[in-house]
């Protein structure tokens, strides 16, 4: 019984923990494409800032994965 509860907890941790960064990365990419359409000359700056922001958002998902693994195996 205890293993099943830990499985559900780990699934919820990664599922909910990846939801926010997934939505954030999608919105970030959409706004970057919109910005490129409005100002193509700023492509380098926009791309650099977009990649940096995606890395920060992805780090949150990695934290959720680590928490899910800890819940699963500890």
pLDDT in tens, 30-53: 999 999 999 999 999 999 999 999
* Cβ–Cβ under 8 Å, residues 21 and 58: yes
pLDDT at 2: 63
pTM: 0.82
CATH code for position 10: 1.20.20.10
State the residue range of the domain holding 34: 2-73
Residues 67 and 10: their CA atoms lie apart, in Å, by 8
Q: Domain total for the chain? A: 1
Locus of tokens 């940096």: 52
CA dihedral sign, ordered 7, 13, 14, 15: positive
Residues 34 and 20: their CA atoms lie apart, in Å, by 21
Tokens of 51: 């990649």
> Kindly report the CA angle at 17 between 12 and 20, in degrees rounded to 5?
130
């Amino acid at each position: 019984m205890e293993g099943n509860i830990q499985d559900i907890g780990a699934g919820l941790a990664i599922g909910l923990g990846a939801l926010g960064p997934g939505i954030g990365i999608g919105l970030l990419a959409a706004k970057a494409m919109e910005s490129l359409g409005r100002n193509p000359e700023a492509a380098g700056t926009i791309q650099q800032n977009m990649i940096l922001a995606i890395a920060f958002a992805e780090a949150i998902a990695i934290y959720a994965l680590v928490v899910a693994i800890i819940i699963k195996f500890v």
